[in-house]
Structure 1
Amino acid sequence: MSIHVPRLDDDPAAPFPGADTALRQPDGLLAFGGDLSPPRLLNAYRHGIFPWYSEGQPILWWSPDPRMVFRTDGVRLSSRFRRTLRASPWVARADSAFEQVIERCATAPRRGQHGTWITPAMREAYLRMHRLGHAHSVEVFAGHSPGAALVGGIYGIAIGRMFFGESMFSSASGGSKVALAALARWLHGRGWPLIDAQVENAHLLALGAQRMPRRAFLEEAGALATAAADTGAWTSAFGERPASRLAG
């Protein structure tokens, strides 16, 4: 049986097909082609669509149903892990090592996965988005000193009051959990209620991610993405946040 997937117009400003036309199998495949220019990416995320493909494939665009999301007041850290954080020297910062975070996310070994969807073209596209003030990272360092090791991080796209998470990594146990929890707590304090986590997996569910029907996600995320918000680096506003504060 043949599967028809629309090819995107070459114009970066051209509209995407409606998300409700995405395939059920593979879940959420919506279109292929196009490019990774900032206008195209911003248009995609505003409509609940994201690129996800492997080296050698055309660019594939997705909008799965259901969608995985975190409420920013709903990230769960186990009691045991929170106890270890009470004496932790780790600190979280924002937009101080975006390039290193995306590189680590691209090269981190992942169970059951061979290769990476964060291709060189994807890395360059998100670095461009970062330079334009649309893509952000939260980094976790092993201490306060300038030479402290990077032990975890998360990055994604911010539009309006909506954060679209892309990937996270740990190079020390719990590093990505701290990055996610620190990001969520900061966003919650700013009145940002939702983090997009894209596709379901057991690790996200254990951290408190929820399944949201695509229609509901598109309505809520779309409204949040239209809110007025500043672009630019988050470094100063985020500050330096000790991981120990997440223990409470």
Structure 2
Amino acid sequence: MIAWLDPHDPFPPVDAALGPDSEAPGLLAASRDLTPQRLLLAYRHGIFPWYAQGQPVLWWSTDPRMVLDPTALRVSLSLRKTLKRVLREDDWQIRVDDDFESVMRACAETPRAGQHGTWITPEIVEAYGALHARGMAHSVETWYRGERVGGLYGVALGRMFYGESMFARRTDASKIALAALCGFLAGHGVTMIDCQQETEHLASLGARPIPRSEFVAHLRTATAQPQIVPWRFDKTVLEWWTRARQAER
């Protein structure tokens, strides 16, 4: 049985989430409210919302938790060649927070295998837009010849980044944005990006599962550190990836 949260109720402990043998492993609580305050409290405790239109807000804390060390992002030889081209050609740009809500809507419109509809509801767009207005949510966008062709968005607290969703309308466009994000975060001492749930795609990018207890312990330290300011960078943050892991060739 999961907890129902009224607007001023705290979250239950994350170890109260449904276990691996349940129909919804990691489900912790449900509520009607999705305020910026509730979101920030959730992220600080290793909890995230995920639900469909017409459902109450469902709050999750999965175990294990999928995470990515920014320096462990797997940059294949083909992607490294693409990054070199992005750096070399003026047609390509990396923009940060150019239009946060448009990135969210693009993520919502992207078809995904095995998924009908989207969890990025108008309510989600409004709530995360409010976090963006506070400087706590950001988009990283890949542009080609004046068109946004890929990107991602997520929440930034202290030295912790919580990845939410990505989209691509051109080959590798979302991976270019992810590489730029990882380069920027690594330069600011961020050692963990939250990827929430374990998937083969995330594993192929270098993400790995860790116990929830380890994840929550990391949050206590990482979210207590100062916010990264300013959130401003361009495609030159990709230079590191074009030189890294030469031994992998």
Q: What TM-score do the two structures reach when normalised by structure 1?
A: 0.90
* Shift in alpha-carbon separation, 1:5–1:131, aligned structure 2, 3 A: same
Counterpart-to-counterpart distance in 1, 2:71 and 2:156: 18
**Seq. identity, %:** 48
Q: Are residues 1:238 and 2:240 paired?
A: no
Counterpart-to-counterpart distance in 1, 2:12 and 2:2: 10
* Shift in alpha-carbon separation, 1:247–1:230, aligned structure 2, 3 A: closer
Contact 1:93 1:241 in 2 (8 A): no
Structure 1 residues 28-53: Cα deviation after superposition (integer angstroms, max 9, x where no partner): 10000141111111000000000000
Contact 1:87 1:244 in 2 (8 A): no
Counterpart-to-counterpart distance in 1, 2:15 and 2:236: 40
Q: How does 1:118-197 map to 2 (within 5 A)?
A: 118-143=120-145, 148-197=146-195
Q: CA shift at 1:83, angstroms?
A: 1.8
Q: Are residues 1:20 and 2:8 paired?
A: no
- What corresponds to 1:110 in structure 2? 112
| Number of aligned residues | 236
Q: CA shift at 1:81, angstroms?
A: 2.0
Q: CA shift at 1:204, angstroms?
A: 0.6
Structure 1 residues 119-173: Cα deviation after superposition (integer angstroms, max 9, x where no partner): 1100111111111111111111114xxxx11111111111111001111111111
Contact 1:67 1:211 in 2 (8 A): yes
Structure 1 residues 159-190: Cα deviation after superposition (integer angstroms, max 9, x where no partner): 11100111111111111111111101100001
- What corresponds to 2:68 in structure 1? 70
Q: CA shift at 1:82, angstroms?
A: 1.4
Structure 1 residues 9-32: Cα deviation after superposition (integer angstroms, max 9, x where no partner): 222xx3200001100221110000
Contact 1:136 1:157 in 2 (8 A): yes
| 2:6 aligned residue (9, 12, 34) | 9
Q: CA shift at 1:230, angstroms?
A: 5.1
Q: CA shift at 1:223, angstroms?
A: 1.4
Counterpart-to-counterpart distance in 2, 1:155 and 1:246: 20
Runs of 4+ in structure 1 deviating by more than 3 angstroms, as ranges, are 239-246
* Shift in alpha-carbon separation, 1:6–1:57, aligned structure 2, 3 A: same
Counterpart-to-counterpart distance in 1, 2:175 and 2:82: 13
Letter in structure 2 aligned against 1:197: C
- What corresponds to 2:50 in structure 1? 52
Contact 1:161 1:227 in 2 (8 A): yes
CA RMSD of aligned residues (A): 1.6
Instruction: List alignment gaps of at least 5 residues for structure 2.
Output: 244-249
* Shift in alpha-carbon separation, 1:152–1:243, aligned structure 2, 3 A: farther
Contact 2:164 2:195 in 1 (8 A): yes
Contact 1:92 1:242 in 2 (8 A): no
